[in-house]
Structure 1
Amino acid sequence: MNWSSLVYVALENNNLKGNIPSSMGYLRDLRSLRLRNNSLNGEVPMALLNCTELLIIDLSHNEFCGSTSSWMGKGLQNLISLNLRSNKFSGQILSDICHLNSLKILDLANNNLSGEIPRCIRNFTAMATEMSNGLRYYYMVKFTNGSYASLLSEDAYVVTKGRELQYVATLFPITSMDLSSNNLSGEIPKELTSLVRLRSLNLSGNRLTGMIPKKIGDMDLLESLDFSINQLSGEIPSSISSLTFLSYLNLSFNNLSGRIPTSTQLQSFNASCFIGNELCGPPDLQQVFGLSVVPYCSSSPGGMPTFIS
């Protein structure tokens, strides 16, 4: 059998152990590599860069380790979905990842990644512009008589609004970035707000500092936004009121202060979304489970909010 023509490897949900063999790099026609939910370990081989036709990589829920930069770069520019969730990857997220400008789904959550979020994420053009290449990807099989037939359509797992969902067939309108539960530090780069096609953004559970970018409201397709459990400071930008599609928000346990911006959308969220900060808001945000967690604020003569418990 000519394995070099293999286009789809799906070995998820087994008890596989050991490393990914470097011979995987000989699969030059490979479109999808799905190894999620096994006990695989070691470093991902650099030979994977030879699989230049890859669209999907899902290595989530394994024990892979090492840096991601050694096997991530220009050779994978066609990649649309990269899921490395729940492994032991470490080191910084280097600029190599920014060569993946076709990415629509990026999940690096629950690893040991450190350092700052690279500013070159603005190069994720598929997260910034509307793509016109249709809703589905199909793998085409060429027969010996020269004819083609569609074999498989693709799906993906995306964690959004606190739940893991499987998107089947309609994968590519979904745009998501999840860098949660790592050791990332520094400020949230303002370049992030150029990714205006994102539907879900999760940076929770890190050590991010500084202010929420003022132009967060430019990301007006966001349905899920989670910046909780960081060290963010300053006020919540008023532009957040422009996120009219937002149905999940969590800014809890930061160092945010001041008045929660007024909008019908923000007032629809439970006060637990804002707990663990020095924020104040309208009376309807005061109660959660019978406890006063977001004080009511009224304007003092000097124009500053007065916190009232």
Structure 2
Amino acid sequence: VLKDLTLFGNSLTSLPAELGDMKKMELFDVGSNKISGNIPVDISNMGWDSDLDNLIVLVLEDNEITGKIPTEFGYFVKLETMKLGQNKLTGEIPMEVGFMTSIEEFSVSMNALSGTIPVEIQELVNIDRLNLDHNYLTGTIPSVIAKLVNLEVLRLNNNKNVDENKPGLTGTLPSEIGNLQALEELYINNNGLEKNIPMEIANMNSLRIFAFQYNVFTGQVPNQLCDLNLDKLHSDCDMQCTCCDKVCD
């Protein structure tokens, strides 16, 4: 019985729909190919039936896949890694991603996704890497993201849509984010976030990288943040900060 299928870095242009019949598949990696079109229905249904829920790793990144993220992906109850980045996916992140409670890495970077970050993301309690960057996401950063206490890397950066003059993520950076004690890297740069950097950020003792330049933050960066001795702390040039690497171009 085929459990692992790795076809990474070949010149595949499509996938056979019969892949959905591989009931015992645990690892499916077709990253870095030339696959185009929508995600085949049979693949998205691999988690729908109780006999088809064994998938642990799904890698479709770095292709030319279009269309929406199938809502059926939410039924991959054993899935630990889902990489869909560097494609041409559109539409919203479906609320059904909240069903994937075993997920540890969820990456949809570098697509054309829109809409807001679904609050159901709070259910991904085992996640340690969440990459939503380089899309066209809007709305605020939901405070419930602070429930992802195992998170080590959070990428929300570069959601501005310059062509349509949309600022990307807006509102304030929720103070609850200071509860993410395991977080090592936080990227929120290149959005439309505003007001102050919350003092609670200084509670994140594991933090090594914090990039928040190219927003519309104002005021002073909390001095306590400087006490963390971060490897990288990037701010806009006009922010009041004694320890930041200021980006002035």
**TM-score using structure 2 length:** 0.81
The residue number in structure 2 matching 1:37 is 9
Query: What is the SS of the residue equivalent to 2:5?
Result: strand
Conservation of the 8 A alpha-carbon contact between 1:279 and 1:294: no
**What are the ranges of 5 or more consecutive residues in structure 2 without an aligned counterpart?**
160-167, 227-231, 242-247
Q: Deviations over 1:202-256 (max 9, x none)?
A: 0000000000011111001100000000100000111100111111110000000
Q: How many residue pairs end up in the alignment? A: 220
SS of alignment partner, residue 40 of structure 1: coil
> What's the CA shift for 1:69?
4.3
Name 1:282's counterpart in structure 2.
222
What corresponds to 1:61 in structure 2? 32
Q: Which runs of 5+ in 1 are unaligned?
A: 1-28, 128-174, 298-308
- How far apart are 1:289 and its partner, in Å? 9.5
Partner residue of 1:188 out of 117, 133, 139: 117
- Residue 296 of structure 1 is matched in structure 2 by 240
1:86 CA displacement: 0.1
Instruction: Note if 1:52 corresponds to 2:23.
Output: yes
Secondary structure of the structure 1 residue equivalent to 2:109: coil
* Mapped pair 1:100 → 2:76: yes
Structure possessing the higher radius of gyration over alpha carbons: 1
Query: Residue type of the partner of 1:212?
Result: I
Structure with greater strand share of residues: 1
CA distance 1:99–1:205, change in 2 (3 Å): same
Specify the SS of the correspondent of 1:208: coil
Greater alpha carbon shift after TM alignment, 69-78 vs 191-200: 69-78
Q: Structure 1 residues 291, 62: closer, same or farther in 2, change over 3 A?
A: closer
What is the aligned counterpart of 1:115 among 55, 76, 91? 91
The 3-state SS of whatever aligns with 1:209 is coil
- 8 A contact 2:57–2:80 mirrored in 1: yes
2:121 aligns to what SS in structure 1? helix
Superposition map of 1:1-309 within 5 A: 29-42=1-14, 44-71=15-42, 72-73=44-45, 74=48, 76-127=52-103, 175-230=104-159, 231-262=168-199, 263-265=201-203, 273-280=211-218, 281-282=221-222, 293=237, 295-296=239-240
Q: TM-score scaled by structure 1?
A: 0.66
Listed one character per residue, the Cα deviations across residues 169-217 of structure 1 (whole Å, up to 9, x for unaligned) are: xxxxxx1000000000000000011101100000000000000011111
1:15-71 deviations in Å (ceiling 9; x for gaps): xxxxxxxxxxxxxx21000000111112x1111111000000000000111111423
Counterpart of 2:188, as a letter, is L
Separation in 2, partners of 1:188, 1:207: 11
Give the conservation status (yes or no) of the 8 Å contact 2:110–2:134.
yes
- Would the aligned equivalents of 1:69 and 1:96 in 2 still touch at CA under 8 Å? no
TM-aligned CA distance change 1:222 to 1:250, over 3 Å: same
Contact 1:274 1:294 in 2 (8 A): no
Go from structure 1 to structure 2 and tell me whether the alpha carbon gap of 1:284 and 1:50 turns closer, same or farther (over 3 Å shift).
same
Letter in 1 for 2:98: R
RMSD: 2.4
